[in-house]
Structure 1
Amino acid sequence: MNFLVIISLVFLTSLFLLFSKRKPKHRLPPSPPSLPIIGHLHHLGPLIHQSFKSLSTRYGPLIHLRLGSVTCFVADTPELAQELLQKNDLAFSYRKHTLAIDHITYGVAFAFAPYGPYWKYIKKLSTVELLGSQNLGHFLPLRTHEIQELLRTLTLKAKQNESVNMTDELLKLANNVICQMMMGIRYSGTDSEAVEAKNLVREVTKIFGEFNVSDFIWFCKRLDLQGFEKRYKDIHTRYDALLERVMSKREEMRRREGKGKDGKGKDFLDLLLDVLEDEKAEIKITRNHIKALILVSLLLYSLNPQ
Structure 2
Amino acid sequence: MDTLQFTLSATLFLLSAALLAIFTTKRRHPPGPFALPIIGHLHLLGPKLHHTFHQLSNRYGPLIQLHLGSIPCVVVSTPELAKEFLKTHELIFSSRKHSTAIDIVTYDSSFAFSPYGPYWKFIKKLCTYELLGARNLNHFQPIRTLEVKHFLQLLMQKAKLGESVNVTEELVKLTSNVISHMMLSIRCSENEGEAEAARTVVREVTQIFGEFDVADIIWLCKNFDFQGIKKRSEDIQRRYDALLEKIISDRENMRRSCGGGGEAKDFLDLLLDVMESGKTEVKFTREHLKALVLVINYEVVK
Matched, 1:277 2:276: yes
- The aligned residue for residue 35 of structure 2 is 34
- The aligned residue for residue 57 of structure 2 is 56
Q: CA deviation at 1:302?
A: 2.9
- The aligned residue for residue 23 of structure 2 is 21
Q: In 2, Cα distance between the equivalents of 1:115 and 1:287? A: 21
Cα distance, 1:212–1:135 mapped onto 2, change above 3 Å: same
Q: In 2, Cα distance between the equivalents of 1:148 and 1:62? A: 50
- The aligned residue for residue 294 of structure 2 is 295
Q: CA deviation at 1:135?
A: 1.0
Cα distance, 1:275–1:6 mapped onto 2, change above 3 Å: closer
Count of paired positions? 300
Matched AA of 1:199: T
What does 1:1-306 align with in structure 2 at a 5 Å threshold? 4=5, 7=9, 10-11=12-13, 13-23=15-25, 27-188=28-189, 190-257=191-258, 266-303=265-302
Q: Can you list the C-alpha shifts for 1:29-73, whole angstroms capped at 9, x where unaligned?
A: 221221111111111123333332332233222211111111111
Percent identity reads 56
Unaligned ranges ≥5, structure 2: none
Q: In 2, Cα distance between the equivalents of 1:147 and 1:260? A: 33
Which moves more between the two structures, 143-152 or 156-165? Answer: 156-165
Which moves more between the two structures, 10-19 or 246-255? Answer: 10-19
C-alpha contact (below 8 Å) 2:203/2:301 kept by paired residues: no
Q: In 2, Cα distance between the equivalents of 1:123 and 1:9? A: 54
Q: In 1, Cα distance between the equivalents of 2:253 and 2:24? A: 65
C-alpha contact (below 8 Å) 2:122/2:282 kept by paired residues: yes
Cα distance, 1:27–1:9 mapped onto 2, change above 3 Å: closer
TM-score (norm. length: structure 1): 0.88
Q: CA deviation at 1:199?
A: 0.6
Matched AA of 1:21: F
Unaligned ranges ≥5, structure 1: none
Q: CA deviation at 1:8?
A: 6.1
Q: In 2, Cα distance between the equivalents of 1:185 and 1:57? A: 53
Q: In 1, Cα distance between the equivalents of 2:155 and 2:140? A: 23
Matched AA of 1:148: K
Q: In 1, Cα distance between the equivalents of 2:56 and 2:269? A: 48
Q: Can you list the C-alpha shifts for 1:157-201, whole angstroms capped at 9, x where unaligned?
A: 221233445444434322321232222333455433221211111
Structure 2 counterpart SS, 1:21: helix
Q: In 1, Cα distance between the equivalents of 2:50 and 2:208? A: 19
C-alpha contact (below 8 Å) 1:40/1:66 kept by paired residues: yes
Q: In 2, Cα distance between the equivalents of 1:11 and 1:282? A: 52
Q: In 2, Cα distance between the equivalents of 1:19 and 1:269? A: 57
TM-score (norm. length: structure 2): 0.89
Q: CA deviation at 1:214?
A: 0.8
